[in-house]
Structure 1
Amino acid sequence: MQEVDEVSDSRRPLPHDFHPPVPEFEVTSEDFSAGGVLPLDQVYDGGNLSPQLRWAGAPAETRSFAVTCFDPDAPTGSGFWHWSVFDIPADVTELPRGAGSGDFKGLPAGAVHVRNDYGTRDFGGAAPPPGDGPHRYVFTVYAVDQERLGPDADTSPAAVGFNLRFHTLARAQVIATYEAPQA
């Protein structure tokens, strides 16, 4: 049997690496810095709150937005979807902290939340296995070319990603890391 070299988590692809290239715009968070560490508020057994996100520079023809959070470093072979929400109206350029958590206060009317890989319809915070090293949490905002993406709340995040592949005008991302120490 041939040995296979372990591939470093930092080389695992991001969810949109397989999509056609599109222009970029900007997304920031008051809760963490790009390349920084997620605070406990965004950790599953911490606050488990979706972070505040603000975006700017989307194309004028944007009809709606979608927001996702993906961990490409999860030891699943396919990553882990922590958050997927779409049909955010085009005039919305910010989600407050906690918009995707609990009672969805702050999530705009008409936005559709699908189940994350925890099986719940909300933001599920970071929870890498203890000692698994740092995981990247990729928060992506998609500028979408239609008001309604098409899927409903029973759709999987992968199927939402399939639809986004064909309807994304531009994309913004911010990445933070989190590591659970060895128990």
Structure 2
Amino acid sequence: MDAEGNPPGPGEGELELRSAAFTDHTLIPDRYAHHRDNVSPPLEWTRAPDGTEELALVCEDPDAPGGTFTHWVVTGLAPDCTGADEGRLPSGATPGRNGFGELGWGGPQPPVGDDAHRYFFRLYAVDRPLGLGEGASAEDVHAAVDGHTLAKGNLVGLFAR
């Protein structure tokens, strides 16, 4: 099941995606927020299945005013990569553009007083190189992985201010 309770699609397996900074459906610490240190949280995941050519990571907030807001896009992750350290991309990874218009991580920044927003971290193991360069959008990743996902992992963090 994914973070929204949906079963994997046809042919899709699951990757366990976790963070040393928070657990699934718990609060993301303030230091990762856009208005604070704005560093990406550490992530680790289980090894991708055989046949994986690339891993891609997207973090989105579906509770943002005006629709889903992108906080992180990372492509070009090597198939044998099993994590990302706090504030760093693994060697060879390519940063995409977040909703703030910046490359790389753009931490949580929900409106003051909103209920906690959900931040969906999604990791995709795909059967082909995606060919997405620096500045790729979440929409680019979603379109590129469609029909090519071997496995995926989900982690949901919460944040309010």
TM-score (norm 2): 0.89
1:20 to partner: Cα distance: 4.0
Given that 2:30 and 2:36 are in contact with CA atoms closer than 8 Å, whether structure 1 keeps it comes out as yes
Instruction: Give the aligned partner of residue 121 of structure 1.
Output: 103
Distance 1:175 1:115, change over 3 A: same
Quick check: 1:135 aligned with 2:117? yes
Q: Which amino acid aligns with 1:108?
A: S
Question: What secondary structure sits across from 1:174 in the alignment?
Answer: strand
Moved more, 52-61 or 79-88: 52-61
Q: Which has the higher strand share?
A: 2
Q: Is the 8 A contact 2:40 2:86 kept in 1?
A: yes
The alignment partner of 2:139 has SS state of helix
Counterpart position of 2:17: 27
Instruction: Count the aligned residue pairs.
Output: 156
**Which deviations, in whole Å up to 9, do the C-alpha atoms of 1:142-166 show, x marking residues without a partner?**
11112x2022224322122111123
What residue number does 1:45 align with?
35
Structure 1 or 2, whichever has the larger Rg, is 1
Identity of aligned residues (%): 35
Given candidates 138, 141, 144, the residue that maps to 1:160 is 141
Say which SS state the counterpart of residue 39 (structure 2) adopts: coil
Counterpart of 2:154 in 1: which secondary structure? strand
Query: Equivalents in 1 of 2:106, 2:33: separation in Å?
Result: 8
Q: Name structure 2 gaps, 5 residues minimum.
A: none
Distance 2:136 2:56 in 1: 14
Give the counterpart letter for 2:118 in structure 1.
Answer: R
Is the 8 Å Cα contact of residues 72 and 136 (structure 1) preserved in structure 2? yes
SS in 2 for 1:86: strand
Q: Does 1:107 align with 2:76?
A: no
Structural RMSD (CA): 1.8
5+ residue gaps, structure 1: 1-12, 100-105
Would you say the 8 A contact 2:41–2:87 is kept in 1? yes
Return the letter of the residue paired with 1:165: D
CA shift at 1:57, angstroms?
Answer: 4.4
After superposition, what is the alpha-carbon deviation per residue over 1:42-95, rounded to whole angstroms, capped at 9, x for unaligned? 111111111111111421221221111110111113x00100011111111110
2:70 maps to 1:87: no
2: CA distance between counterparts of 1:72 and 1:160? 16
Q: Say whether residues 1:170 and 2:159 are aligned partners.
A: no
SS at match of 2:86: coil
1:107-138 Cα distance to aligned partner (Å, 9 max, x none): 312x2211111000110000001112110011
Runs of 4+ off more than 3 Å? none
Q: Distance in 2 between matches of 1:34 and 1:163?
A: 26
Q: Which has the higher contact order (CA 8 A, sep 6+)?
A: 2
